[in-house]
Amino acid sequence: MASFALKVIRLGLTAAGRAVPKATGRLAFELFCRTPSRRPKGEKARLAVEAGQKRLSRAKELPFDMAHGQVMAYRFPGAEPRAKRFLVVHGWGAGALYVSELAENLASTGAEVVVLDLPGHGKSAGRRLNMRMAVDAVIEAQARFGPFDGAVGHSFGGASLLIAHGGVMRGAGQLNVQKLAVIGSPSEMHWLFRDFSNALRLLPAVRRELVQHAETVAGCSLDAFDTVAISQRLRAPLLVVHAEDDKEVAVDHARRYASAGPHVRFHWANGYGHRRIVSAPEVMDGIVAFLKDDAGSAAA
């Protein structure tokens, strides 16, 4: 049953949508961009946060300023001056804490690893995030700490890396990496806007305004967010990690990459769902092997 707050929001957006659909679409976009509370929910989450904080305490904090506020980056130094350099990006509602074990595993190979707290997450400023903000943060991280040999992202973070790699957003620049790995990541964004609109029962005119405003902010159409098309065009080696039991990002998002070309490898990590997959030992080992050029052992 829908919560009382959700019912009130639905009623308010419906009434406003009939009167001023354009303004209501923009308001809906702000709701869409609102990030969850950083406070851990439950004992298990609290312990995970504590473990992540301990791992990140071994990295150097490197905050940098952007138009929407300060973004926090963490750097695990490389073992030698010419060490490989990797960028790691978390998913929606998570933070660098939740991918810190993967980052530390990559660093244990001697690589230099930079991990981001995307806007609205972790120690970064604000309570909002959209794809343009994420891509801008990734491109700025490249300018400050790159170039990167490879990049790894979970969920929304994986999508943001591929979209940044595609250079599809007007005026945003492009992420230049040799290899990418995405974990439980969406391969297009129409479904997300559709599900969000359905959940709020937005009127058709408001839905159109929501998408149009999102495209204006992004500097490209939602069609350009198709990461399979980006991968097919640029053909950088890509490792797609997904669990068939993922209940947040359907496995069909991963299966779409089968048409992209032979540069794509798959690692099916069934049984780990959407969140535990990030710290699954076999997943971390597969990503390390893939980025170290031992790609054969990462495919499944």
Rounded to an integer, the average pLDDT of 47-71 is 96
pLDDT at 295 over 70: no
pLDDT at 42 over 80: yes
The pTM of this model reads: 0.94
Position 299 scores a pLDDT of 43
Element (H, E) at 60: strand 60-61
Average pLDDT, the chain: 95
Position 3 scores a pLDDT of 84
Distance (Å, whole) CA 180 – CA 182: 7
**Angle between helical axes of 4-19 and 204-218 (0-180°, round to 10):** 90
Distance (Å, whole) CA 107 – CA 68: 30
Query: 188-216 burial, b for 16+ CB within 10 Å, e for fewer?
Result: bbeebbeebbeebbbbeebbebbbbbbee
Position 2 scores a pLDDT of 63
Is the bond leading into 281 cis (omega within 30 degrees of zero)?
no
Closest CA to 144 of 60, 220, 225: 60
pLDDT at 171 over 60: yes
Rounded to an integer, the average pLDDT of 244-255 is 98
Position 82 scores a pLDDT of 84
Decide if 245 contacts 273 (C-beta within 8 A). Answer: yes
Q: Which amino acid is at 66?
A: M
Number of helices (H), then strands (E), in the chain? 11, 9
3 Cβ partners below 8 Å, 6+ apart? none
pLDDT at 97 over 60: yes
pLDDT at 300 over 50: no
Rounded to an integer, the average pLDDT of 46-53 is 94
Ordered domains of the chain (ranges, CATH): 1-34+189-225 (no CATH), 60-188+226-300 (3.40.50.1820)
pLDDT tens, 112-124?
999 999 999 999 9
Which range in 37-41, 77-81, 96-100 is most confidently predicted, on average pLDDT? Answer: 96-100
Give me 141's structure tokens. 């991280």
Query: What sign does the CA torsion over 229, 244, 293, 109 have?
Result: positive
Tell me the percentage of the chain whose pLDDT exceeds 70: 97
Position 242 scores a pLDDT of 98
Decide if 254 contacts 240 (C-beta within 8 A). Answer: yes
pLDDT tens, 267-287?
999 999 999 999 999 999 999
SS3 content of the chain, % helix, strand, coil (to 5): 50, 15, 35
pLDDT band at 41 (very low <50, low <70, confident <90, very high): confident
Position 223 scores a pLDDT of 98
